Amino acid sequence: MVQSVSFQGITKNIFEQHIRDRLKMKKGSLFTRRDLAADVQTIRTVYLEKGYADVQVRFDQAHMAPEPGQKIYDLNYMVNEGPLYHIDLIRPRGNDKTKPAVITREMAISPGDRYDIRKIKQSIQRLRKLGYFSKVEVRAVGSRRVEPGKKYKELYVHVEEKGTSRLMLGVGGSSTGGVFGDLRFRDTNFDLSDTPRSWSDFVSGSAFAGGGQTLAVFLQPGTETSRFGFRWCEPWLNQRPVELGLSAAYSSREWDEYTVDKLGGSVTLGKRYPPTLTGFVGLRIHEVDVTDVDSDAPPDVRDDKGTHEMLGVSVGVTRNTLDKLTLPTSGKKYTLSAELVGDAGLDALKLIAEGRKYKTVHEAPDKSKHVVSLWGRTSVIAGSDLPVFERFYAGGLGSVRGFAAHGISPTYNGDPIGGEFKIEGGVEYLFPFIKDTARGVVFLDAGSVADDSFDIGDALSDMRASTGVGLELVLPAAGGVPLAMYLGVPLKKESGDETEAFTFSLGIFLP
């Protein structure tokens, strides 16, 4: 048993109080070697958080045995604080392709700041989440900078780069979406301004590289569904925490009663508020043609036949604390958004609130994790009626699995026409197959769509539900691109609902 805890070498009383509050072994605690090692590290950490990068901690103990078999310990920690340090320079190393500014802008600590191990660890986590590097290490070394009353450390950021551009070719399909080809190019460390100086720069891949931008190009021709387009994103506009996104796309979808062709683009501008908030505004413009309308199609569809000039202006906020971009095991992501939208005007309002939470419930000896995930989404349209292609539907990826896209919807003579209120959510149990690479999924989803805005009663009374299993994995050979496959079975459905047992996605995990 611990009888007393004392310190030597601590010059500031507030440090001693912080240390005592964080120790595992206090007066009256049971003495163990494991807790002793943890407490020595705790003392070092307190100083490393306060700028004392060279702190040393030694332990001295004394014990007496007043009775046979019983030991009482007096614990004494000897601390050599060393000097207080500030940061001089941050020097990236090993970044043959990635621009130095792409690395330094992700650092949570800056030149002139007091040394702080917490900010250094946060910086390492940020750099790892970028997905550009297979290895990230930060080492503090002495600086040659001399200033009266101040000492400095330089931070060497050592990285090992990995491939970030991938070309993917595949074929997919579903019972409701037909068969389609899939050709995609994706580079998550793109640089639009890094033009090639020679043909060899372009061939070797050293051009248009290392700027931290994202470029995605997709070509998906299909029998019933086709999509073509691109998306470009600059996450640090003018080296500020401002994100600029540009996209353009053409899509064509053949439904049973009509065909929808869309051509347009969008611009988004987001501002990050560290550590977890992002506010954004957006503008989208689409020309939409509704054609091949059957004579017995629902009146809403027949009314929407022709060309529509759709305009949308949106604003929103996201809070994201997920620990990883792919296969997250902890954290939350919430988004609230509002969009004014209309046909050549802004006469309707779309409101969407959605969120997802991950919680680790068990960690295996190899550090692989069992995770429970909850997700939910509520969507409302207020104002003027919107065309059928702008209304809400449920089912498919990102929604209630086991049902087809548009499989859950208000109907007219059995044909879906969409609604103005949607509620959906689910729970998942995620268990590891291959650590950090693949995990299984058992899910329970539920959702409903109602005709009118805020018609919560009808939505809840007509709730559908499904259950199933799935597999989520990242493809190392494709630069860590995620692939998800799900097999779902409806538990509760209504007449007219369209089901779909198997769904998959390449490039993002849903919902």
Domain end point (choices 52, 80, 108): 80
Is 277 in the same domain as 131? no
- Angle CA 291–296–299, to nearest 5: 75
Q: What is the pLDDT of residues 447-462, one digit of tens each?
A: 999 999 888 888 899 9
Is 414 in the same domain as 460? yes
Q: What is the pLDDT of residues 33-76, one digit of tens each?
A: 899 999 999 999 999 999 999 999 998 766 665 666 667 888 99
Residue-level pLDDT at 508: 47
Residue 270 in this model has a pLDDT that exceeds 80: yes
Q: What is the pLDDT of residues 280-295, one digit of tens each?
A: 999 999 999 999 999 9
| Encoded tokens for 325 | 């971009």
The gap from C-alpha 251 to its chain's centroid, in whole angstroms, comes to: 26
Share of the chain above pLDDT 70, in %: 95
CA distance linking residue 131 with residue 121, whole number of Å: 16
Domain end point (choices 103, 135, 161): 161
Instruction: Kindly state the average pLDDT of the residues 81-91.
Output: 96
Residue-level pLDDT at 181: 85
Residue-level pLDDT at 12: 80
Residue-level pLDDT at 325: 82
The residue behind tokens 């501002």 is 271
Residue 214 within any structural domain of the chain: no
Residue 233 in this model has a pLDDT that exceeds 60: yes
Residue-level pLDDT at 205: 74
Residue 192 within any structural domain of the chain: no
Residue 450 within any structural domain of the chain: yes
Residue-level pLDDT at 474: 85
Is 365 in the same domain as 485? yes
Is 75 in the same domain as 146? no
Write down the pTM of the prediction: 0.86
How many other C-beta atoms can be found within 10 angstroms of the C-beta atom of residue 308?
A: 21
Instruction: Kindly state the average pLDDT of the residues 234-249.
Output: 96
Residue 245 within any structural domain of the chain: no
Is 21 in the same domain as 98? no
Q: What is the pLDDT of residues 169-203, one digit of tens each?
A: 877 666 677 778 888 898 999 999 998 888 777 77
Is 99 in the same domain as 76? no
Alpha-carbon separation of residue 15 from 45, 46, 75, 119 (angstroms): 11, 8, 18, 19
The residue behind tokens 């805005």 is 453
Residue 212 within any structural domain of the chain: no
Residue 510 in this model has a pLDDT that exceeds 60: no
Residue 127: domain span:
93-161
Residue 236 within any structural domain of the chain: no
Is 70 in the same domain as 125? no
The gap from C-alpha 183 to its chain's centroid, in whole angstroms, comes to: 24
Is 58 in the same domain as 113? no
Residue-level pLDDT at 402: 95
Annotate 180-201 with b (16+ C-beta within 10 A) or e (fewer): bebebebbbbbbeebeeeeeee
Residue 148 within any structural domain of the chain: yes
Instruction: Kindly state the average pLDDT of the residues 334-342.
Output: 97
The gap from C-alpha 353 to its chain's centroid, in whole angstroms, comes to: 17
Is 384 in the same domain as 497? yes
Residue 481 in this model has a pLDDT that exceeds 80: no
- Nearest CA to 339 out of 292, 280, 395 is that of 280
Contact assessment for residue 352 and residue 337, using Cβ atoms and an 8 Å cutoff: yes
Split at pLDDT 50, 70, 90, the class of 511 is very low
Residue-level pLDDT at 62: 65
Residue 509 in this model has a pLDDT that exceeds 50: no
Is 468 in the same domain as 399? yes
CA distance linking residue 152 with residue 113, whole number of Å: 10
Is 26 in the same domain as 152? no
Residue 297 in this model has a pLDDT that exceeds 90: yes
Q: What is the pLDDT of residues 94-136, one digit of tens each?
A: 999 999 999 999 999 999 999 999 999 999 999 998 989 999 9
Residue 29 within any structural domain of the chain: yes
Q: Residue 359 corresponds to which amino acid? A: K
Q: Residue 156 corresponds to which amino acid? A: Y
- Supply the angle between the helices 33-49 and 117-130 in degrees, to the nearest 10: 90
Residue-level pLDDT at 424: 98
Q: What is the pLDDT of residues 301-318, one digit of tens each?
A: 999 999 999 999 999 999
Count of structural domains within the chain: 3
Residue-level pLDDT at 11: 87
Residue-level pLDDT at 170: 74
Domain end point (choices 80, 103, 124): 80
Indicate the range of 13-27, 316-330, 391-405, 476-490 predicted with least confidence. Answer: 476-490
Q: Mean pLDDT of all residues in the chain?
A: 91
| Encoded tokens for 310 | 């759709």
Split at pLDDT 50, 70, 90, the class of 252 is very high
How many other C-beta atoms can be found within 10 angstroms of the C-beta atom of residue 28?
A: 8
Is 70 in the same domain as 127? no
The residue behind tokens 């702080």 is 116
Q: Where are the beta strands (DSSP E) in 30-150?
A: 56-64, 72-80, 85-93, 133-142
More reliable by pLDDT, 435 or 89:
89
- CATH number for the domain that contains residue 55: 3.10.20.310
